[in-house]
Structure 1
Amino acid sequence: MDSTTHKFYHVHGMDSRSHLDLYFSNKEDMVFAEDTLKFPMAMIHYQLCTGRAEGTFMIDISIGSLIHHLYSVSNSFKKIVILKFQEKCIMELNRWVHDRTGAYDWSHTSSAAAEIEGTRDQLQEKEMRLRSSIMQILKCDFGQENISSPVLLPLANCIISMWILEVISKNEDEYLKNLEKIIKLLKPGGQLLLIAVLDTTYWFAGAERFHCFKCNEEFVKNAFGKLGLSIDYYSVQRRCNVSDIIDYKAMLFIVGRKGE
């Protein structure tokens, strides 16, 4: 593949298992643990354990086939719906949720979650609770006004979105339109917990190079303001690793509250 060619995640799809191995695994050569595993898990846990996000129903709209950021969520929200662009990601997640043969091994993240929460003696219970909290895994389409069409979801108390807006948006206008569609799924007074990768132009999954919309902290904050989200909290973590498979400079965790 020409190194200058960028595929689009939501159009061309990707190898979901390769994506997990490169950025989220427990392999010795996986250098992103501080940024992709520990940072989002710690930030989401902090937000939820302080009682700032409350309710019963949460929607997750994140890249790939990730579950590690949802352990703390299942402590607070009894019902979780996950939206995905690709059937492969849905199949990958269903293997784990139903504890099937060949499911991805996330045991390193349940251990990390237990350490963050101070519940090291409850690893099995933690995984079981998360599995039982995931009610549906649905396909989404941001080309539709209702991105979960034909399913009409109830409005969520909280939405988590990790690394999705920048990989499906070509420019600033698309980013704002896509963010607005996410916010439409949120109840008035509800919170959006967003994790974004900053100053990125490309990333790899396997041998395939993908597009990423380059945005910075100020752009994301301004986007929240333009769409009526008041910022409750944000934190930036500068890149902790060296690798040429992705060119980001920092991770952003930002929490926005929808107006009543």
Structure 2
Amino acid sequence: MSSSCKKIYGVDVVDHQNLIKQFFSPHVPYTFYVETSMNRMLSIYKAFSTGMVTGKTLTDFCCAPLLFRVLLIKDFVKDITLVQTNDDGVQEIDKWLNKHPDACDWSHAAGYLKEFKGIRALGYPTGPSSPGTLFPLGQPNQLQRRDESDDEEENTRGNIKVLKWDLSDDNPAEALSLPKADIVTCMWFLELISKNHDEYRRNLRNISTAIKPEGFLLIQTNVNSSYFKVGEETFHL
């Protein structure tokens, strides 16, 4: 977890639109997109659709305004609160909520979700290597057109609110006047904001204050990685 000579997310400025374009857009190489997005979508959907994780309210902590996860979760919970650690992340989500022309485009993720739910309903296996797969072996931007996935995005917007958390506050639920949630999700976050293992444990305790007793904490993380780059900037991971 060495953070020497690397920028720290939540402390240093990051270009979110460039980050999304580099890692989560339909323009990245297909195999890379499978790793950054598709596999994460499938694991989240499995957790909720099988009843492994249940509840009416959800609070999400994430390193960036990565909305593909929210498109999945909205079918299973009533209210979703997205917690960002900087103004730019909040603004990016607000732009998407308000259909601003400069908002990041998540229609490809909504298209995958729509196709996945249709395949699942027919009883076919799903996954990048399965017959009848959700993800055909082609470039992601060749799949769903925007008009085919607009309803998934539109049905999500009404369920969401977004808040900014100052990392210096040890109790985000109290600092944000945030009711404790049935479910807390955390993706690609704790390892970015934590310079060392002690900070990781402290930050884990902090986000745990947002969970109801006997609630669920769902974490997706990276292993065997020490940094990522956004443009020419190197960030600790």
The CA distance in 1 between the partners of 2:23 and 2:33, in whole Å, is: 7
Q: Which residue of 1 aligns with 2:114?
A: 114
Q: Which residue of 1 aligns with 2:219?
A: 194
Q: Which residue of 2 aligns with 1:158?
A: 183
The CA distance in 2 between the partners of 1:148 and 1:100, in whole Å, is: 29
Determine helix, strand or coil for the equivalent of 1:10: coil
Within-5 A mapping of 1:9-158: 9-29=9-29, 32-118=32-118, 123-134=149-160, 136-147=161-172, 150-158=175-183
Higher percent of residues as strand: 1
Determine helix, strand or coil for the equivalent of 2:221: strand
Within-5 A mapping of 1:151-230: 151-212=176-237
TM-score scaled by length of structure 1: 0.75
Determine helix, strand or coil for the equivalent of 1:117: helix
Gap regions ≥5 residues in structure 1:
213-260
Question: Is 31-40 or 188-197 further displaced after alignment?
Answer: 31-40
RMSD over aligned CA atoms reads 1.9
Q: Which residue of 2 aligns with 1:235?
A: none
The CA distance in 2 between the partners of 1:175 and 1:107, in whole Å, is: 33
The number of equivalent residue pairs is: 208
The CA distance in 1 between the partners of 2:166 and 2:174, in whole Å, is: 8
CA offset digits 1:131-189 (Å, max 9, x no partner): 1110x211112321222564211111111110100011111111111111111110112
Question: Does the Cα contact within 8 Å between 1:57 and 1:156 map onto a contact in 2?
Answer: yes
The Cα of 1:30 is off from its aligned counterpart by: 6.8
The CA distance in 1 between the partners of 2:13 and 2:32, in whole Å, is: 22
Q: Which runs of 4+ in 1 moved over 6 A?
A: 119-122
Question: Does the Cα contact within 8 Å between 1:60 and 1:160 map onto a contact in 2?
Answer: yes
Gap regions ≥5 residues in structure 2:
120-143
Question: Is 53-62 or 4-13 further displaced after alignment?
Answer: 4-13
Letter matched to residue 138 of structure 1: L
Letter matched to residue 153 of structure 2: E
Determine helix, strand or coil for the equivalent of 1:96: helix
Question: Does the Cα contact within 8 Å between 1:41 and 1:69 map onto a contact in 2?
Answer: yes
Letter matched to residue 142 of structure 1: L
The CA distance in 2 between the partners of 1:158 and 1:188, in whole Å, is: 10
Residues 30 and 207 (structure 1), Cα distance of their counterparts in 2 relative to 1, 3 Å cut: farther
Question: Does the Cα contact within 8 Å between 2:165 and 2:176 map onto a contact in 1?
Answer: no
The CA distance in 2 between the partners of 1:187 and 1:152, in whole Å, is: 14
The CA distance in 1 between the partners of 2:173 and 2:20, in whole Å, is: 24
Determine helix, strand or coil for the equivalent of 1:66: coil
The CA distance in 1 between the partners of 2:213 and 2:40, in whole Å, is: 24
Residues 87 and 149 (structure 1), Cα distance of their counterparts in 2 relative to 1, 3 Å cut: farther
The CA distance in 1 between the partners of 2:115 and 2:87, in whole Å, is: 32
The CA distance in 1 between the partners of 2:106 and 2:87, in whole Å, is: 20
TM-score scaled by length of structure 2: 0.82
The CA distance in 2 between the partners of 1:163 and 1:37, in whole Å, is: 12
The Cα of 1:204 is off from its aligned counterpart by: 0.5
Aligned-residue identity in percent? 29
The CA distance in 1 between the partners of 2:18 and 2:33, in whole Å, is: 16
The CA distance in 1 between the partners of 2:35 and 2:88, in whole Å, is: 24
Structure having greater relative contact order (Cα 8 Å, sep ≥ 6): 2
The Cα of 1:122 is off from its aligned counterpart by: 6.9
Question: Does the Cα contact within 8 Å between 1:53 and 1:191 map onto a contact in 2?
Answer: yes
